[in-house]
Structure 1
Amino acid sequence: MGGAAGPVTAEDTRGEGGEQAGSGEEPGQPRRPRLPRWPRRLRPPRLPWGLSRRTALLLAVVATAAVAGFGVWLLYGSSWLRVEHVRVEGTRELTPDQVRAAADVPLGEPLAGVDTGAIERRIEEALGRVAEAEAVRDWPDGITLELTERTPRLVVAKPGEEGTYVEVDAEGVRYAEVRERPAGVPLLVLDLDDARSDAFFGTGRLRAEAVRVAVALPKAVRRDTRTVRVRSFDSITLELTGDRTVLWGSSEDGAAKAKVLTALMKVEKDAEHYNVSVPSAPAASGG
């Protein structure tokens, strides 16, 4: 029997001529490095149920169209999302029924198709007391009408109708007739001096100037003011309770005049006539 094989050495792996077995290279030459192999091209994942990509895309398009169609039907064709009630907010003098009548909201119509802009225009055109109207969809079945009513700053007597007044807001807009003067709102009297060129400003412009004066009045003075009398553009007088008067002048420098008048009335409490037409040189007399 042959003896046990000894350990294999480097000499045992060489063939004739000193070549290393299986190397395939000339002796003494360095081994060439192997180039890295690129990973296999990734294949798209297999689709379920053996569907092709084209079929799956077609099914996705059909499903999307079905969902969109259902949404359109839900908004416009179903009986679920239709206008059933109208809520009114922000009224002071107006009643909710007056607003609903002017708005003419189409009950029973799809909520998504209601023209809210048209509703707002109808309210503002029909109700002069409304400064701004906003119609808001109240899902799932209502419309909310949010109103901002005008605030009277002055009233003017309506010609030919004794005891009837027209309210004027801060922008000089005449908007509503009332049978009684609102509390704390002065009466505007245009007592124009035709001999002065200021009379040619026009009643609209002079009315706007009077409103600016009324807005600038100190709170305590506004409460006591009964009449704002306009004789010209720069001659506006306030007639207060207790037969007191204030020569305000023009509507310019309203904030400064209000501050000076407040201080002057505290110092000259018993005066009957105040003049703040030139706020840097106020005066008081009478009393």
Structure 2
Amino acid sequence: MSRRTIAIVAGCIAFVLAVAAALPFTPAMPVDSVNVDGAVNLPVQEVESLAGIEAGTPIGRADVRGAAHRVAGNPWVESATVKRNWPNAVDISVEEHTPVAWIDQSGQPHLIDSEGTDFVVAEPPVGTVQLVNIGEGQMRQAVEVASSISDPARPQVRELTMEGEHSFVLKLQDGRAVTWGASEDNRNKALALETVLQLPGETFNISNPELVTSR
């Protein structure tokens, strides 16, 4: 193969590579879809709006870093990842704060996650336990108790309050009461709670989960 032929072939390859490299930045490779995963309490449409990536945008020009920053700026969002899914999609993965409890402050519901973070003012989702008459010094322990309540039992618990300085009490949606006791051995108490929810009676004590009492 002559040097001239080699030069022509090399030039053609370079041209093709240049076109291929430029293609994602042209209307020939537009964003056709924005896929959102992990949004539970935050509407998918709101995540898409926050991302600000319009359909038809050349995928190479989609500002994925800026989109991740904007989505993560929403108070519901703990973290967000945005990446191109070649050739024509953008994927957004959201990790939300999970509300386990809420407190009423001046008539506004403040949602609290399992880390004790007051992260947003919003309508409490089903299964979020209201903390009532909990002192600042007991807030961490109250959140620990609220976090440990199992998913099957959670919708049946209306509020968590205190009886004395170290004993927590659950008020159920049907008016019954369950004395939880201190924030300790919470896993076994959560299992005991699932059991007593199936039993007749008005008041229960699971402060010792191996010796549950009711009346």
TM-score (ref. length: structure 2): 0.76
- Aligned equivalents of 2:87 and 2:125: distance in 1? 40
Match of 1:272 in 2: 203
Asked if residue 165 in structure 1 is aligned to residue 98 in structure 2, the reply is no
Asked if residue 128 in structure 1 is aligned to residue 61 in structure 2, the reply is no
Asked if residue 248 in structure 1 is aligned to residue 181 in structure 2, the reply is yes
- Structure whose CA Rg is larger: 1
Q: How far does residue 237 in structure 1 lie from its aligned partner after superposition?
A: 2.6
- Aligned equivalents of 1:235 and 1:187: distance in 2? 16
- Pairing 1:45-194 to 2, within 5 Å after superposition: 47=1, 51=2, 54-55=3-4, 57-76=6-25, 78-83=26-31, 86-105=34-53, 109-125=57-73, 127-157=74-104, 159-160=105-106, 162=107, 164-179=108-123, 181-192=124-135
Contact 1:192 1:232 in 2 (8 A): no
User: Which secondary structure state, in structure 2, belongs to the residue aligned with residue 67 of structure 1?
Assistant: helix
Match of 1:222 in 2: 154
Superposition RMSD in Å: 3.4
Q: How far does residue 134 in structure 1 lie from its aligned partner after superposition?
A: 3.2
Q: For structure 1, which runs of at least 5 residues remain unmatched after alignment?
A: 1-46, 194-198, 200-205
1:126-183 alpha-carbon deviations (Å, 9 max, x no partner): x2223443324344444343434443221211x22x2x3122233333333235x433
1:216-270 alpha-carbon deviations (Å, 9 max, x no partner): 22455433322112579953332234342313311x322222234455x389743
Contact 1:268 1:284 in 2 (8 A): no
1:82-102 alpha-carbon deviations (Å, 9 max, x no partner): 346545455444334422332
User: Which secondary structure state, in structure 1, belongs to the residue aligned with residue 99 of structure 2?
Assistant: coil
Contact 1:192 1:231 in 2 (8 A): no
The amino acid of 1:153's aligned partner reads V
- Aligned equivalents of 2:84 and 2:146: distance in 1? 38
Aligned residues: 214
The amino acid of 2:130's aligned partner reads L
User: Which secondary structure state, in structure 1, belongs to the residue aligned with residue 121 of structure 2?
Assistant: strand
**Does the C-alpha gap of structure 1 residues 207 and 114 become closer, same or farther in structure 2, counting only changes over 3 Å?**
farther
Among all aligned residue pairs of Structure 1 and Structure 2, give the percentage whose two residues are the same amino acid: 22
Q: For structure 2, which runs of at least 5 residues remain unmatched after alignment?
A: none
TM-score (ref. length: structure 1): 0.60
- Pairing 1:195-210 to 2, within 5 Å after superposition: 199=137, 206-210=138-142
